[in-house]
Amino acid sequence: MSTPLTSRQRLLLALLTFDAFLLGLLELFFLPLRLDGIVLPKLGDAPVPVTAVLAVITTPLLVRTTAKVVRPTFSVIPLLVWVLVVLGMGMAGPGGDLVLIQDWRALLLIGGGALPGALALGGGLGTASKVAKGVSGG
């Protein structure tokens, strides 16, 4: 049986979960950015999925940080929150609007956030399992 979380660990878990929530919202809402001269410079009106790149970096970082500072078994929480925010708000956004754009950028965001996050989760859980069983690597 595992020991209960300390108050510091609970606070860190809450902060990392809130961070995953905010990142999911920001990445979703800024996904339609284009080089149209409104927010980004005007360079041919091409779509720029910069938030998908942000998701590739931040989602596994949140998972690894949770595994490190809280516990590996709790590292699924930020990933799950991120996926639920992106899919939930994307399909039924504010006022029932469809926020998740229906093109390749949406697939890039979901795949770019969920896949590296899941790989980080599996790696962290596998390492924790090896340590718990006392198996030496190599």
Tens digits of residue pLDDT in 93-129: 778 778 888 889 999 999 999 999 999 999 888 877 7
Alpha-helical runs (H) found in 70-103:
76-91
pLDDT at 17 over 80: yes
Can you tell me the distance from the alpha carbon of 42 to that of 22, in angstroms, rounded to the nearest whole number? 28
Q: How many CA atoms lie within 13 A of 51 on its CB side?
A: 21
pLDDT given at position 3: 85
pLDDT given at position 113: 94
Using a pLDDT cut of 70, give the percent of the chain over it: 94
Residue 31 lies in a domain: yes
Residue 48 lies in a domain: yes
Total number of domains in the chain: 1
Nearest to 74, CA basis, from 18, 23, 16, 127: 16
pLDDT at 134 over 80: no
Residue 2 lies in a domain: no
Residue 60's domain comprises 8-125
pLDDT given at position 46: 82
N-to-C CA span, the chain: 29
Q: What are phi and psi of 136, to 5 degrees?
A: -90, 140
